[in-house]
Amino acid sequence: MVSLVEEKEEEETKHHQKKENSNAEVEGSVLDVAEGESTDVDPKLYEVAQQARTDGNEAFRKQEYEVSILHYERALEHLLHPSIVSTKQADEIYVPVRSNLAAAYLKLGEYQKAREQCNFALATDGNCAKALFRRAEAFRAESQFAKAVDDLEKALRLQPNNMSIRVALDECEEEMEYSGCSARPAFVDDEEGPSKPLDERTEGFVRKVVEETQQKFQRDEQVVAELILEHEVGLTKELKWGRITIGSDAFTSSENLESMTSFVRSKQATSSAHAICMVVQKSDIQYPLVWWSGPWPWMDDLSCEGLFVELETRDRCRRTWFLRLDATTHLLEDPVLLDARCHLADSSFFP
């Protein structure tokens, strides 16, 4: 199984494991303390953490960035205390602290550390516009313009009237054009929608993947994220499938997605495949928010659950389908072909 989560400090691992193991009800992107879990919370922990955050903000305003980092780290120490780590109140402080740490690292020119802090914030609240904006600033400083544009577009959808984001997006797009980079991978399909018809062999491959996926979901009520690769084997050119299981953490950030893509690209099985299908449940995706990327067939219900099947062929033709989950029957409906802008992969799986 491919592991894509970057190594984190021990306390951060405990923070996320605590959340995953709780029986809390999910509300938005935060977890409340589960019924039966210890509620012996020391309110002073919140107070100390909030004061450390305030002290960090004050140091930042004085341009004492190293000092502000020390204060923010102290706030995190208290927020990660076992008695409050899974509470909504802790999350409400935790996300801004991570985002502010990113701002401090940006001022010091430590762009990788800034991105790491943004990743932590977005793992808890995927709709934190400040974290998206600051991660974009870090990408932009490293001349990773396509990733910066992607984050800025998401931030602008969250805050459409934010002029700072709008100006940064315009500037970044100009810089990207000047540098000769492209915001999107060079696939055959343009933004107006699929134009190149699939050949019979590829259509058959996708149809079989969809049928298998629907059957698996009907049986298990879930599908493990994976890549399915089709090969021609031997002189008879018999079609065989290979599989690469991918962790859902691949879809928590652009960095994790790129790490997974690079891993797949390096595999010998990929170099000999003629087509690849990626299968991922919508509930596993924090990045990219495909349903915001272009015209979505169910604009009246963006929260609808379901599953994505994305095809890429060796000649860089790509299609993405969504199989909506019927809320009554709990079965996956027939696939709907999405607009070309609604896609999962940021770059090609093929070498």
Distance CA 88, CA 76 (A): 15
Residue 57 confidence (pLDDT) above 90: yes
Interval 18-33 mean pLDDT: 32
Helices 88-107/129-141 angle, 10° precision: 20
Give whole-number Cα distances, 344 to 68, 195, 286, in Å. Answer: 37, 19, 11
In this structure, is the dihedral angle defined by the CA atoms of residues 39, 45, 51 and 54, taken in order, positive or negative?
negative
Cα–Cα distance measured from residue 147 to residue 132, given in angstroms and rounded to the nearest whole number: 11
Domain residue spans of the chain: 10-179, 200-337
Whether 112 has a pLDDT exceeding 80, the answer reads yes
pTM for this prediction = 0.49
* pLDDT over threshold 60, residue 39: no
Residue-wise pLDDT tens digits, 265-296: 877 677 778 899 999 999 999 888 888 877 88
Q: What is the mean pLDDT of residues 322-340?
A: 92
Structure tokens at 102: 């990113």
What is the residue-wise DSSP string for 50-117?
HHHHHHHHHHHHTT-HHHHHHHHHHHHHHHT-TTTTTSHHHHHHHHHHHHHHHHHHHHTT-HHHHHHH
- Write the CA distances from 27 to 20, 24, 33, 87, 95, integer angstroms: 14, 9, 11, 12, 16
Q: Dump pLDDT digits (tens) for 214-269.
A: 999 999 999 999 999 998 765 556 788 889 998 778 898 888 898 898 888 877 67
Q: Identify the CATH number of the domain defined by range 10-179.
A: 1.25.40.10
